Chain A
């Protein structure tokens, strides 16, 4: 009986040692992958400039001339400077809705203490027109809602007009004046379409 007990303990210890090696030894098992490896891609919302912003100058005769270097131009009464810039919104996402906004720039004297700069800022009348996805206006909400990438056009047209009909006393004060035209900003921001 004692021998039997010792034998049983030795056999048990041997099985335990086998199990301790960590390998399968006698029982069945199986595994299966759930589906194929999945790639999850994020959508996109980006702005790019489609063409370099362009300036043209229009005289009282209506003649329009491209401006290669706006810094070299010397505007005089009767001139109209036209600025045009085109941007493209790239959008991709099944639940992507966004608001596109154009914030207008402003005209300010380069030197607020220089009478010529101040006078020129008063003489130049700025008008701006914005088109977003074919609709006129400074802001638009676009529901893209597609996994397929899409693009939407944004156009900025700015006119700086110095009327020829101004009073000489006013216009003469603007000679050699300088003004800054600040940046126009285009922004797109995703919005919650469920709201």
Chain B
């Protein structure tokens, strides 16, 4: 009898324990589920949930750089043609235009490189002068006169953004050029450069 009673009590205790354990498991599961739901809810809301906040933004902008190019006679390069009949007594002058295409003022420079090595090259001189227009281009103007080969002008002129100016290139032979060099040719390239000017 005692034995039966003990068995019964033990079974009852075991059932009570199992019930309590099951209840605890349910409670834990419910807590985890509600916690998970809360976390999901907050996470999906994406922001704080119990504080005041506010924000503003400056407008986004795009900044664009300017440009700067030169044009000779309206093109990236221009042939000045054949300069015939140049003698020590008869220099020849030709005009060309330089245009600043872009957004900055600039200071022009010039340099001449010869492309031939004939003897007459050493007796050939050049003079580059800014002029008002093509009609004003003539020999004997005020630009510096120097040997054609290696002719360099560090500061030819100032050109405003978008401005076009005319220049006069004079080519002449030294008075003492030997007649033996008559008929020889000189090839050269005039390069006009420009550096942006501070403004």
**Contact flags (1/0) for A46-80 with B, using CB distance below 8 Å?**
11110001010001110000000011011111100
Are the CB atoms of A71 and B64 closer together than 8 Å? yes
Q: Knowing A74-B103, A183-B57, A184-B57 touch, does A191 contact B62 (C-beta < 8 A)?
A: no
CA distance A20 to B56 in the complex (A): 65
CA distance A53 to B104 in the complex (A): 27
A14 at the interface (CB under 8 A from B): no
Residues of A within 8 Å of B56, CB to CB, are 47-49, 87, 185-186
Residues of B within 8 Å of A116, CB to CB, are 65
Q: Knowing A59-B199, A76-B196 touch, does A184 contact B58 (C-beta < 8 A)?
A: yes
The size class of the interface chain A forms with chain B is 35 or more
Task: Specify which of A71, A156, A160, A189 lies most central, judged by the most chain B CB atoms within 10 Å of its CB.
Answer: A189
Q: Knowing A180-B61, A180-B62 touch, does A78 contact B53 (C-beta < 8 A)?
A: no
A176 at the interface (CB under 8 A from B): yes
CA distance A187 to B58 in the complex (A): 11
B48 at the interface (CB under 8 A from A): yes
CA distance A76 to B56 in the complex (A): 31
Q: Knowing A75-B66, A76-B66, A176-B67 touch, does A182 contact B54 (C-beta < 8 A)?
A: no
Q: Knowing A60-B199, A179-B62 touch, does A191 contact B104 (C-beta < 8 A)?
A: no
**Contact flags (1/0) for B62-104 with A, using CB distance below 8 Å?**
1111111000000000000000000000000000000000011
The size class of the interface chain B forms with chain A is 20 to 34
Q: Pick the contact of B55: A47, A71, A156, A179 (CB < 8 A).
A: A47
A93 — nearest CB in chain B belongs to which residue?
B52
Nearest chain B CB to A168's CB is how many angstroms away?
8
Nearest chain B CB to A160's CB is how many angstroms away?
7
A115 at the interface (CB under 8 A from B): no
Task: Specify which of A46, A61, A116, A175 lies most central, judged by the most chain B CB atoms within 10 Å of its CB.
Answer: A175
CA distance A48 to B65 in the complex (A): 32
CA distance A85 to B59 in the complex (A): 10
Q: Pick the contact of A76: B51, B103, B195 (CB < 8 A).
A: B103
A99 — nearest CB in chain B belongs to which residue?
B53
Are the CB atoms of A183 and B58 closer together than 8 Å? yes
B55 — nearest CB in chain A belongs to which residue?
A187
Are the CB atoms of B63 and A75 closer together than 8 Å? yes
A142 at the interface (CB under 8 A from B): no
CA distance A78 to B60 in the complex (A): 23
B198 at the interface (CB under 8 A from A): yes
CA distance A12 to B186 in the complex (A): 144
